C-alpha cells in the first residue's frame, strides 16, 4: 500500500484520539451459548486495520449510534491480524441491539483499553486459568498466547465452570487446546442426563488439582465476583499467595479513559487501572467478604 506521509499522519491522529470510534464491519457471527455470540470485527480503514494491536485482557468500547456504547473484552487471538473477536452476552439496551445485527453491518470501536494479563510473570511457571461462564472470553487470548509459546510455560490448566453443560463457552476449541498442551477440567452446577463430567462449583476443581510447586504457580481468573471470592479461598488453602492471583473485573463502565468515575473501585478505576488486577491490590474494595 502506498500512502503519502500526510495521510499516514492524519490516520495516526484519528486513531490516537481515545474518544473517537473507528468504523468496523461485522465479518461473521457465531452463536455460542444461549444469549451469547462471538462477533468477528474488521476495520473498514485499511491503515487502521494494519496497525491495530491488543494485549490479552484488554477491552474495546463498541458503539451503536443512537443506542449507546459498551465495554467488551477482546476474545481474539492476539496474533491475528485481520479479524477481532468479541464474545457478547445480551444484557440490556446496547447488547440487545447488537444481537440484532447481521454480518456486513457496521458499528464503532474505540480501544484497546486497560491493563493486560501478566503474561511476563507467568514465564517458566505453572499457570491455572479459572473461568466462570462468559468469563472465559477475556481469558481466550491468553490461551492462544500460551499455545503459541507453550514451551515457555510450565503446566497449564484451564478450570471451567458453568451453570449447565450448554453454558460452557467455545466447546469446539477444547480438543485443539488439549492437543496443544493445556489440561482442561470442567464442572457444571446442574447436569443434564448426557453429562458425565463433574457437578459442583469450580472451586472443587482447585481443591483436588495437582499443584507440584505452588510457589511457582500463577492463577488468572474471570467470572462472577462470588466465584472469584471462593476461588481465592481455595487457592490460598493450596498454598498460593494473594500476589500470585490475578482477576479481571467487569464493573459498569462509560468513558473507559479514567474520567467519568462510573467504574471506580476504591481508589482505582477499572478502565485504566484494570480490568486485570493483582488480587492483593484490589481485594479490600471487592466487598464480598460476607458472602
Ligand X SMILES: Cc1cc2nc3c(=O)[nH]c(=O)nc-3n(C[C@H](O)[C@H](O)[C@H](O)COP(=O)(O)OP(=O)(O)OC[C@H]3O[C@@H](n4cnc5c(N)ncnc54)[C@H](O)[C@@H]3O)c2cc1C
Question: What residues line the site for ligand X (CB under 6 A)?
Answer: 59, 68, 70-73, 87-89, 91-96, 134, 137, 250-253, 270, 275
By Cβ distance, which residue is nearest to ligand X?
92
User: 28 or 96: whose CB is closer to ligand X?
Assistant: 96
User: 94 or 209: whose CB is closer to ligand X?
Assistant: 94
**How many whole angstroms separate alpha carbon 200 and alpha carbon 205?**
9
Which residues pair with residue 115 across a beta bridge?
275
**How many whole angstroms separate alpha carbon 214 and alpha carbon 145?**
22
- Count Cβ atoms below 10 Å from residue 150 Cβ, excluding itself: 12
In the complex, least distance from residue 98 CB atom to ligand X, rounded to whole angstroms:
8
User: 101 or 204: whose CB is closer to ligand X?
Assistant: 101
Which residues pair with residue 30 across a beta bridge?
38
Phi-psi region of 130 (alpha: psi -120 to 50; beta: other; left: phi over 0): beta
User: 55 or 204: whose CB is closer to ligand X?
Assistant: 55
In the complex, least distance from residue 137 CB atom to ligand X, rounded to whole angstroms:
4
In the complex, least distance from residue 172 CB atom to ligand X, rounded to whole angstroms:
18
Burial class (CB in 10 A: 0-12, 13-18, 19+), 185: middle
Residue the block writes with cell 499467595:
241
How is residue 91 annotated by DSSP? -
In the complex, least distance from residue 85 CB atom to ligand X, rounded to whole angstroms:
10
CA distance to 108, 238, 248, per residue, from 94 (Å): 12, 41, 22
User: 22 or 95: whose CB is closer to ligand X?
Assistant: 95
User: 79 or 96: whose CB is closer to ligand X?
Assistant: 96
**How many whole angstroms separate alpha carbon 38 and alpha carbon 35?**
11
User: 28 or 216: whose CB is closer to ligand X?
Assistant: 28
In the complex, least distance from residue 59 CB atom to ligand X, rounded to whole angstroms:
4
Identify the sign of the CA torsion 81, 52, 69, 57. positive
Which residues pair with residue 221 across a beta bridge?
130, 247
In the complex, least distance from residue 134 CB atom to ligand X, rounded to whole angstroms:
6
User: 69 or 126: whose CB is closer to ligand X?
Assistant: 69
Q: What is the CA radius of gyration of the chain?
A: 19
Half-sphere exposure of 104 (CA within 13 A, CB side): 1
Sheet holding 22-31, edge to edge: 68-73, 59-64, 106-113, 22-31, 36-43, 84-89
In the complex, least distance from residue 247 CB atom to ligand X, rounded to whole angstroms:
12
In the complex, least distance from residue 81 CB atom to ligand X, rounded to whole angstroms:
21
Amino acid at each position: 500500500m502506498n500512502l503519502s506521509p500526510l495521510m499516514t499522519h492524519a490516520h495516526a491522529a484519528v486513531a490516537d484520539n481515545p474518544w473517537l470510534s473507528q468504523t468496523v464491519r461485522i465479518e461473521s457471527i457465531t452463536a455460542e451459548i444461549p444469549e451469547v455470540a462471538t462477533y468477528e470485527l474488521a476495520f473498514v480503514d485499511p491503515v487502521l486495520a494494519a496497525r491495530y494491536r491488543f494485549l490479552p485482557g484488554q477491552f474495546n468500547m463498541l458503539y451503536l449510534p443512537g443506542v449507546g456504547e459498551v465495554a467488551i473484552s477482546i476474545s481474539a487471538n492476539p496474533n491475528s491480524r485481520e479479524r477481532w473477536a468479541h464474545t457478547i452476552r445480551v444484557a440490556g439496551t446496547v447488547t440487545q441491539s447488537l444481537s440484532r445485527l447481521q454480518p456486513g453491518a457496521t458499528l464503532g470501536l474505540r480501544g484497546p483499553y486497560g491493563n493486560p494479563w501478566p503474561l511476563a510473570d507467568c514465564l517458566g511457571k505453572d499457570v491455572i486459568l479459572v473461568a466462570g461462564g462468559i468469563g472465559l472470553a477475556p481469558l481466550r487470548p491468553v490461551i492462544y498466547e500460551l499455545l503459541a509459546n507453550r514451551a515457555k510455560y510450565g503446566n497449564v490448566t484451564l478450570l471451567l465452570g458453568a451453570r449447565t453443560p450448554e453454558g460452557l463457552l467455545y466447546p469446539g476449541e477444547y480438543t485443539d487446546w488439549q492437543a496443544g498442551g493445556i489440561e482442561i477440567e470442567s464442572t457444571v452446577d446442574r447436569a443434564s442426563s448426557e453429562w458425565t463430567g463433574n457437578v459442583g462449583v469450580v472451586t472443587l476443581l482447585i481443591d483436588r488439582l495437582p499443584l507440584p510447586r505452588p510457589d511457582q504457580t500463577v492463577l488468572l481468573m474471570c467470572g462472577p465476583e462470588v466465584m472469584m471470592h471462593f476461588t481465592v479461598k481455595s487457592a490460598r488453602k493450596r498454598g498460593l499467595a494473594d500476589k500470585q492471583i490475578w482477576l479481571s473485573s467487569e464493573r459498569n463502565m462509560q468513558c473507559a479513559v479514567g474520567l467519568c468515575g462510573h467504574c471506580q473501585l476504591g481508589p482505582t478505576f477499572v478502565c485504566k487501572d484494570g480490568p486485570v488486577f493483582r488480587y492483593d491490590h484490589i481485594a479490600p474494595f471487592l466487598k464480598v467478604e460476607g458472602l
